[in-house]
Every structure is written in C-alpha cells, then in structure tokens.
Amino acid sequence: MSNRNTKSLIGGMTILGISGIICKFIGVLSSIPLTWLIGTGGQGLYQSVYPTYSLLLTISSAGLPVAVSRMVAHTLTRGDPKGAKTVFRLALYILSAIGCLLTILMIVGSNFLANRVSQPEARIGFIAIAPCVFLVCVMSAIRGFMQGQQNMVPTAVSQLIEQVGKVCFALPLAWLGMKTDIAHGAAGALLGITISETLALLYMVITYFSNRGAFASLLQTDAGALSRRLAARDLMVISIPITISACIVPLATFIDSAMLVERMLLAGLDLATARSYYGIQTGMVVRLINIPTALALSISMSLVPAVTSAVASGNQERVRHESDLGMRFAFLIGLPCSVGMSLLSYNIIAFFYANTLTAEEMTLAGELLSMSALTVVLFTVVQATTAILQGVRKQRIPMYTLIAGVAAKIVLNYLLVARPEIHIHGGPIASLVCYSISMIPNIFFAIKYTGMRFNWQGWILRPGLAALAMGLAVWALRDALPVAHWATILEVIIGVAVYLAAALAVKAIRKEDFASLRRGRRARK
C-alpha cells in the first residue's frame, strides 16, 4: 500500500474537515446576531426560503461535480489528462445552462414559491437568493475538477470565502432590510449569500486559470483520449443517480418547510409559536448539527476520487484499504460528536443563544439538540458508505436506501408533529429513523462490493470505548460545573483531550495516521 495514497486521503479529509468546521462555526456565530436582528420569526421566514433554494441547487449541481471528480480521477490514473479536460468543459457547459435556467425559473416563480410555504411575504427572499443557483453551479464544476486531482485546497478556501462573505454582507443587509419590515430583513440576509457566492466563484475562476499551466504539463500516456460523446454518456450515467440521491434529503426538507408549521398548528400551537419553533429547529439546532457533519462531507469528498482512482488502477487491495480507512474515520469522528453534543446540548445552546432565546425556548432548543446530535454519527457513516459505493460505480444503491429512509421520515413527521405532546420533537425522531434505515444496508453493500471485512473493532469498538470515556468525563463535568461560557469551553476542551488520549490508548487512532498527516503537509509545501 502506497503511503502517498494514504496521505492523500487523510490529507484531503483534514483540509476539508478543518475548513468545514471553521465554516460551520462561522455560520453558527453569524446566526446569533442574525437572530438578534430578525428574531426567531424572521429565522422561520428565512428558513422557509432556504429549503427551496437548497433543493434547486441540489438538483442542478449535486451529481455532476461528483461525476466530474470521479471521471477526472479515473482519466488521470489512466494517463489521459486530455480526457479529464474534456469532462470538465462538458460539465461546465451543462451546469452553466442548468443553473441559468433554474435561476430564471426561481425569479419568475417567486410568487408561487412563497404561496407554497404559506408565507407570501417570502417572495422577495426567493428573488434575492435566486442568482446563487447559477453561481454555485459554475463553481461546482471547477470544484469537481480540482477534487478529481485530489486537490482539496481550492474547495476549502472557497468555502471559507462563502462563510466570511455571508457575515460581511448578510448581517448589514439584514439590518438595512429590517428598517422596512421582517420580510425585507430576511431577504437582506439571503442577498448577502448571493454576494458571498459571487466572491467565492471569482476566487475559483482565478485559481483555475492560475493552475492551467501545471495541468497542461501533464503527459498524455494513454493514446485513446476520452471523446466528448463518451464523456457525455458517462457523466449522465454517473450523475443522474447521484443527483437523485442528493436531492432526497433537500426534498424532505423542502416538504418539511411547508408541512411542519401546518402540522404544529394541528397540534394546538398558534402560528407565531409554530413559526418560532420551526426557526429554532432549522435555524439554530440544525445549524449547530451542521458543524460536525462538515467532517462527514469532507470524508465523502475525499473518498470518491480516492476509491475511484484505486478502482481505475485495478488494485483491489488499495480499494479495500481506502474504503476501510474512510469507514474508520467516519465512526472515529461521528461517535464523539454525537455523544459530546448530546450531553452538552443545553450548555451549547446557552453558549451561543443565551441572550437571544427565552428560558422556555432555551429548554426546547436543548431538548431538540440532544436528540438531533445522535444523527451525526449516522449521517457521517451514511456519507462515507455513499462515497465508497459511488467510487465502485454502485451509485444507485445509496439512492434507494436514502429514498427508503426519507420516506419513513416524511411519514413520521406527518404523524408525530401533529401530536400535542410531541409537536416539533417529531423532527429529530424522524431523522434518527431516516439515517438508520439508510446506514445499515449501505454498510452491507459497501462491504460486499469492495471486499473489505466488517472491521467491528476498528470501526465501532475502539472509537466507542474512547467515546464512552469522553462521555463519562463530560457528564461529570457538566453536573459539577455551572452553565457558563467558560465552563462550556472547559468541558469541550477536556472532552476532546480525554477522547484523543483514550483513542490512542485503545488504538482507535494509530501513529501512522499522524505520520500520514505530516507527510501530507510536507508534500503540499
């Protein structure tokens, strides 16, 4: 097994993981002043627009960038850089056209979209964020091209630009919008996203042109360069199942945006309370959950080209190794995040939102985060297994398993949220069931098609023991210390230290993992 392959995978996960954590943390921090500016009701209005944008964005740009990443990795492994360039250009044309069309449709249909979520005042918000669909489509093509070369730095930097831009533009524009009304306040925040995506795209374009010379110097060792016709066929074959799979969760969120408030009204809540609870769950709790799940996405984006390259080289042992490494890191990251966030749920909410929420809302948010945190490990493993299956050209399997999970989620949301004793708590329960249904068959098929064994000690036992040690330490500190900012920071630091020490002691983390990271840093220098 080549050390270079291992360092590339771990290095890619590290770069994207650190970037993702920083980005999500900035997102959470920015949500605090945003909530001060537009209130929980404004957050509910903001979140009524965002799922539609997210769904359209996923439809347009989820599958093709992954297909580009896979095909670029495959062609470069075969010694066909001309074929890689053909794949990229074709995807760029397709994504640009799709993004432009959906942006126009979103603007023209803004009134319909606002009425669909039963909030006509959201129309201006749909118009403000519509250009993002085109901008992100173009940027996704360039990101996929870079990731196929196992260069994760441009993606990481562009993500940071997106988040910093949102803070710099969304908050001032939300403040200006609130001078008119709450609808313009939410729209101002959404317009800030459009501006930040423009800056991120500009960076990616500059990066692409600055790296063209190095890519052009790659030798064409495969005489049969991939044709445009074959590239188009392969892009469609690969991207369509991935797009459908990627659309499933945003589609469920899209349905929730119209259904949850209505179902809470049937549970006996008034409109203002229902909208506020929806804003707490989607605008605060889910935003916090997205911090550790950024690591899951980093594993996924790094695994696809790594496994694809291994498959293209015909090295089955490398396929098994890369897949096992991805699974090990999925549990290694997901388990402590779930345990730690669940135990410290109220403290974390108090840390970020103590001056924003009422005492009743704080209690509710803590309860929702405690349950929702348990989905982190499930989501992380689902992402890792999905990436592995995509890498071995079995992309339809995670599509089917996620369809089954999301179908159960929609049904449970419909049934549970309307019950007065459950209402918004039904959302996290449904999510736990959703990812459990998807995860179990994904693991089975990932093992079947890669030939790796079910490494229960490396995946579950060792990380589980380390997470247990961390959980006991955090639980003791939580009960001994007051609910205060300094105490929460201390609990997190000690929890991380205990987990790392325990993980090293039980060999959940190995010395060669750190050696791979050091080699990766030296190589990038």
DSSP state string for 18-32: HHHHHHHHHHHHHHH
Predicted model pTM: 0.70
pLDDT per residue over 291-324, tens digit each? 777 666 666 666 767 777 778 777 888 888 888 8
Please give the average per-residue pLDDT across 57-67, as a whole number.
70
Please give the average per-residue pLDDT across 365-374, as a whole number.
93
Question: Is the pLDDT score of 440 beyond 90?
Answer: yes
Cβ-contact 426, 281 below 8 angstroms: no
pLDDT per residue over 408-432, tens digit each? 998 998 999 999 988 889 989 998 9
What are the helix (H) ranges across 314-425?
316-343, 345-353, 359-372, 375-391, 396-416
pLDDT per residue over 89-125, tens digit each? 888 888 899 889 989 988 998 888 888 776 778 888 8
| pLDDT given for residue 198 in this prediction | 92
- The distance from CA 348 to its chain's CA centroid, rounded to whole angstroms, is 20
Cβ-contact 361, 276 below 8 angstroms: yes
Please list the helix, strand and coil fractions of the chain in percent, rounded to the nearest 5, in that order.
85, 0, 15
* Identity of the amino acid at 129: I
Q: For 235-240, which contacts have Cβ atoms below 8 Å and span 24 or more sequence positions? A: 235/64, 235/67, 235/68, 235/71, 235/87, 235/90, 235/91, 235/94, 238/63, 238/66, 238/67, 238/70, 238/71, 238/390, 238/393, 238/395, 239/63, 239/64, 239/66, 239/67, 240/63
Cβ contacts of 156 within 8 Å, gap of 6 or more: 15, 16, 18, 19, 20
If you count them, how many residues does the chain have? 525
Cβ-contact 492, 500 below 8 angstroms: no
Residue bearing the bigger pLDDT, 5 or 256: 256
b/e sequence 206-236, b meaning 16+ C-beta within 10 Å: ebbeeeeeebeeeeeebeebbeeeebbebbe
Return the sign of the alpha-carbon dihedral for residues 99, 113, 273, 36.
Answer: positive
**189: confidence class by pLDDT, cuts 50, 70, 90:** confident
Mean pLDDT estimate for the chain: 82
Please give the average per-residue pLDDT across 362-375, as a whole number.
92
Phi-psi region of 123 (alpha: psi -120 to 50; beta: other; left: phi over 0): alpha
Question: Taking Cα atoms as reference points, which of 195, 76, 80 lies closest to residue 146?
Answer: 76
Question: Is the pLDDT score of 12 beyond 70?
Answer: no
Which helix (H) or strand (E) is 247 found in, with range? helix 228-266
Residue bearing the bigger pLDDT, 70 or 168: 168
Residue bearing the bigger pLDDT, 194 or 306: 194
Question: Is the pLDDT score of 31 beyond 90?
Answer: no
Boundaries of every domain in the chain: 3-454, 455-520
For the chain, give the longest Cα–Cα distance. Answer: 69
Question: Taking Cα atoms as reference points, which of 386, 501, 473 lies closest to residue 435?
Answer: 386
**513: confidence class by pLDDT, cuts 50, 70, 90:** low
